[in-house]
Amino acid sequence: MEKKRDITILTFGDRLDYDEYKKFNRERKTFAKNGFDYATVSYRNVLRGKLPKIKTEKIIIFLFFPFDYWNKNIEHRHYRGIYGNHLFYKKFLRFWSMIDNIINKHFAHKKVLIINNPLLSGRYRDKQLIKMKLSEAGIPNPRMYHVSHSREIYSLLAKGRALFLKVRYGSMGKGITFLSSLSWQTNFSFRNHTIISRRSDKGWKFRDVTGDHNFLNKLIKKDILIEEAVDCLILDRKRIDLRIYTFFKKVIYIYPKVNYPEKITTNISQGARGAPYILKYIPKQLLAKAIRIAIDASDILNLYLSGIDILLDRNRDDVYIVDVNIFPGFPKRRTFNLAKNIIKELARLDDNGDLRFE
């Protein structure tokens, strides 16, 4: 006989989210099979105060990315400045503060567990904040440089360093520039002495700007991070990284991504693809180290659900966290049904008394 739990799983999301939110909603039978009630609501209705009535005493809230709000109020067609700037961050923080207040007010008499904390969902848009927290905890991530003038970058390049210049508040591989002594590549456009961002998630293709000192001088005045590039592991003639999904300090799936060695990144949005087969070629001790630091990172950052992106060094000894995803796109269901496994893991945690409601 199936166990009936006094818990409702409530999802906040938008129809524009064809990935995580859609895949999660398709598992309604799995919710019921594992004893959970289920409800969902759009962010639009949440902001209007139109939340569903929940009968159970306990609620687990999953927060998916607010695509509709983002597209209308943050990265809209007429925004000024380059992609991933500080204004993006301020508006995102404001949005999650509103969501946090609404949840606390509306469900004041319920026991609530939120995945993930809305205020952290906003704050962790800041890549520098994440790097600071990881570094303070001794978790390896690429070295960051603080420069005030382009001549400092030229000095690093002359010493054989390769660098990534990333927008501080970006995602999806957008707003990235790679510099080495031989090649400069960026997926920004640069015309008439102006850095130009695409008003879309698509089309952020890398282009050659080698030696364009005007572009570099403009870029370093923006909200960017400068990281030393990792000389990453090549397997099966491809560069790889690992998206490690953690849920309540447990790794529930590892998704390798591969791209050709000459490519700049291993972002799916930049032409990389998933390659689960590659896991069998990764040295066991290296994979174990990657798993350990992914769990440590999610713990340090107080994240219940995360996608930790890890690069493996070519020397087969070091591993580095290069990104932490609060909204980590889900793999294809036929590859691995992440949503179903999350639900099963919640049932197991509840059975063991490991869920902490506030």
Structure tokens at 287: 């994979």
**Which pLDDT tens digit goes with each residue over 121-151?**
999 999 999 999 999 999 999 999 999 899 9
pLDDT-above-70 percentage for the chain:
99
pLDDT at 158: 96
Average of per-residue pLDDT values in the chain:
93
Q: Which residue's structure tokens are 């105060």?
A: 49
For 199-318, strand residue ranges (E) read 207-208, 224-228, 234-235, 238-247, 251-259, 273-274, 305-312
Band the pLDDT of 265: cuts 50, 70, 90: confident
Give yes or no for a contact between 311 and 244, defined as CB atoms under 8 angstroms apart.
Answer: no
HEC assignment per residue over the chain:
CCCCCCEEEEEEECCCCCCHHHHHHCCHHHHHHCCCEEEEEEHHHHHCCCCCCCCCCEEEEEECCCHHHHHHHCCCCCCCCCCCCHHHHHHHHHHHHHHHHHHHHHCCCCEEEEECCHHHHHHCCCHHHHHHHHHHCCCCCCCEECCCCHHHHHHHHHCCCCEEEEECCCCCCCCEEEECCCCEEECCEEECCEEECCCCCCCCCCEECCCCHHHHHHHCCCCEEEEECCCECEECCEEEEEEEEEECCCEEEEEEEEECCCCCCCCHHHCCEECHHHHHHCCHHHHHHHHHHHHHHHHHCCCCEEEEEEEEECCCCCEEEEEEECCCCCCCCCCCCHHHHHHHHHHHHHHCCCCCCC
Band the pLDDT of 252: cuts 50, 70, 90: very high
Band the pLDDT of 1: cuts 50, 70, 90: very low
Mean pLDDT along residues 215-228: 94
Band the pLDDT of 202: cuts 50, 70, 90: confident
232 secondary structure, DSSP code: B
Asked whether the predicted pLDDT for residue 34 surpasses 90, the reply is: yes
Band the pLDDT of 212: cuts 50, 70, 90: very high
pLDDT-above-90 percentage for the chain:
78
- How far is residue 258's CA from residue 290's CA, in Å, rounded to a whole number? 16
User: Which CATH fold topology does 231-325 show?
Assistant: D-amino Acid Aminotransferase; Chain A, domain 1 (3.30.470)
**Residue-wise burial string across 70-92, b where 16 or more C-beta atoms lie within 10 A, e elsewhere:** beeebbeeebeebbbbeebbebb
pLDDT at 322: 95
**Which pLDDT tens digit goes with each residue over 43-94?**
999 999 999 999 999 999 999 999 999 999 999 888 878 999 999 999 999 9
pLDDT at 315: 83
Q: Which is more confidently placed, 64 or 236?
A: 64
- How far is residue 113's CA from residue 358's CA, in Å, rounded to a whole number? 6
Band the pLDDT of 8: cuts 50, 70, 90: very high
Which of 14-28, 104-118, 229-243, 276-290 shows the highest mean pLDDT? 104-118
pLDDT at 215: 95
Asked whether the predicted pLDDT for residue 314 surpasses 80, the reply is: yes
